[in-house]
Every structure is written in structure tokens, then in C-alpha cells.
Amino acid sequence: MNLGEAPVRANLLSAADQSLVDGVLAGQRRALAKAITLIESTRPDHQQRAQQVLNALLPHTGRAIRIGISGVPGAGKSTFIEALGVWLIEQGKKLAVLAVDPSSSVSGGSILGDKTRMELLSQREEAFIRPSPSSGSLGGVAEKSREAMLLCEASGYDVIIIETVGVGQSETTVAGMVDMFCLLQLPNAGDDLQAIKKGIVEIADMVVINKADIDRQATAVVRAQWRNALHMLRPASPHWAPPVVALSALHKEGIADFWAQVEKYQAALKPTGEFEQKRQHQALSWMWQLIEAGLHQHFRRHPLVQENLPALTRSVEEGNTTPAAAAYALLGYLKH
């Protein structure tokens, strides 16, 4: 994103981009993939075009249910998403699977949303699977995934699944872009304590205990622990107490129960307006994140800031200038 670019107008679409928009709206997978690639591009001219394409598609977004699924590597995310996806297709739905994996830029490849991890699903016409963009920071990756999600909605996908790893900030980021955030857990006692420490329990709309087939008794114990842990918290909505469901992704048991909770969630929060309020809040918070990122970039690129920053940095390090005085002086350059 570049500050100071001309405002985006939908009617500026070139013929090629108009046909891209038409292709996305017609549900063509190739057009959708191409549009996502355009969004992920870091070239300024591509970014400008991507925003125009998005603007044209925006009126056609918002109809899908957006579900976040997080879990540590090995929790069974891909097995679960594949089982759920195949089940949803049997119910007549189309789903898109996207990933938010900030580590992909470090490792050079994303393990999340990888087609080889969901082999059955990737062969289905009704499923669209896209690995995490490898564009760098978590903010950058999340921004691209958010926009890819809107494109998938415009292309007629009813269910959008955003997969992320259960480590660090990425869970909070994904929770901030979906309607329902689900934590995928293993039936190991004590895992809930980890999640409580990390402050993750608060953002969960549902807890899923996978691999229930391995040890049913341990699963029941862990399920009770989770229920207690959730019970101690004040729920985000007075109309929704996050449930704890146990299932076996491998044996495809409990998938319908999981989906029943997704439907229950919507039935509980849509009539009260909370469902829509959450989306509005997320959209505004996204806008502010972009404003802050843009201001930051503007600041860093300002010639006077670039000129004076090194000396002021040294001066603060040496104790000759207070951090506040240096900050005000640098911010003052923005007025010039």
C-alpha cells in the first residue's frame, strides 16, 4: 500500500481487469487464482489494479461464513479441514481454504494450505485451496489473506476457512478476520493451561478436541477441563457460550456435530445484530491498521526524517536528547 496514491475508483478498470472481475464473479477458478496473485503482488502498479478489482467485487462479498481454525503442527488441521470440506461438499456447499502463516517467508514455503496436505479436497471442483502468501510480516500476510477471502466470497464460495498455526500472534490476527474462531486441540491434559497463558481462550468461539479415537477417556477429561476453563471467563457475547466438541478427523467422526455448532452460532448471533457488528468492527480495525501502516511508511520515507533520524537516534542513545523531544522533532518534519 502506498500513501498518497489517487483514490481508487471502480470505473477505472481496464478491459483485462474487467474480464478478471467477470471471471471471478462467474466462479472461474483460474480467474480467482489470477486475481489473488494480483493482490499478492508487491508491485505498485499491481497493487493499484488489485484495489480497483477488489472495489468492483466488494458489493458481491460478505455472504460466506468465515471460520478460523488454529492448532499446533500435528494437531490435525489439514486432516480436519479435508474431512470437513468433503462433508460440506456433500451438503452442496463450496469452500475455500486459505492460510495465514507468517513463518512462510522465513522457511521459503508454506506448509499451511498446501494442496498436498489435502489431497482429496484439492481434487474437488467445489473446493479452492490457497497456501499462505509469502509476503513477509504477519500484517502483510494477513492483509493479503483478508483480501483473498473477499475475492473467494465474490466467486461464490459459501464457506471460507482460514487456517493458522497455534503459535504466537497469528491466532489473534486470524480471530480478527473471521466470524468464528476455532481452536483445534489434542486430548492432552494441560494444553488448556498453555492456551490460557497465551490469552487464546478468550478469543475462541469454539474448542475442538481432535483425535478423540486415540483415547476416549482422556478426551472426556480434557473436554471437561476445557469446559471449566471456558466457564471461568466472561463470554464475548451474552448469547454464546463457546462449546467444546470432541471429534476424530481421521475417522470422520463428529464432523456434523462441529457444523451444527457453526449453524447454532449464526442462529444465536445474527438476530441480535452481533454477527454483523463483529464484521463492522473488524472492517474498521482493518482500516485503522492500514492507516497506521501507511503513516508509518510515510514517516520513514520522508526526506527530512531520513536526513535527521541518524543524528537524533545517536543523540537519544547518548542521553543528550530525551526520547520525547526526538520523537516530537521528527514528527514535526512531517509538516514540511
CA-CA distance, 99 to 159, in Å (whole number)? 14
Residues near ligand GDP (CB under 6 A) are: 71, 73-79, 210-211, 213-214, 248-250
Of 72 and 316, the one with the shorter C-beta distance to ligand GDP is 72
Quote the least distance from Cβ 254 to ligand GDP, whole Å: 9
Q: Is 209 helix (H, G, I), strand (E, B) or coil?
A: strand
Which residue number, 88 or 208, has a Cβ lying nearer to ligand GDP?
208
User: Residues near 128 by Cβ (< 8 Å), separated by ≥ 6?
Assistant: 29, 32, 94, 95, 96, 97, 152, 155, 157
CB of 82 to ligand GDP, least distance (A): 8
How near is the Cβ of 81 to ligand GDP at its closest, in Å?
8
Alpha-carbon radius of gyration of the chain: 22
- Shortest approach of ligand GDP to residue 186 CB, angstroms? 9
Q: Residue 42, exposed/middle/buried by CB under 10 A (0-12, 13-18, 19+)? A: exposed
Q: Please give the Cα distance from 96 to 155 (Å, whole number).
A: 10
| Least distance in angstroms from the C-beta of 253 to ligand GDP | 8
Decide whether 76 or 85 has the Cβ nearer to ligand GDP: 76
Q: Which is nearer to ligand GDP, 140 or 187 (CB)?
A: 187
CA 298/CA 292 separation, integer angstroms:
10
Residue 68 vs 71, nearer CB to ligand GDP: 71
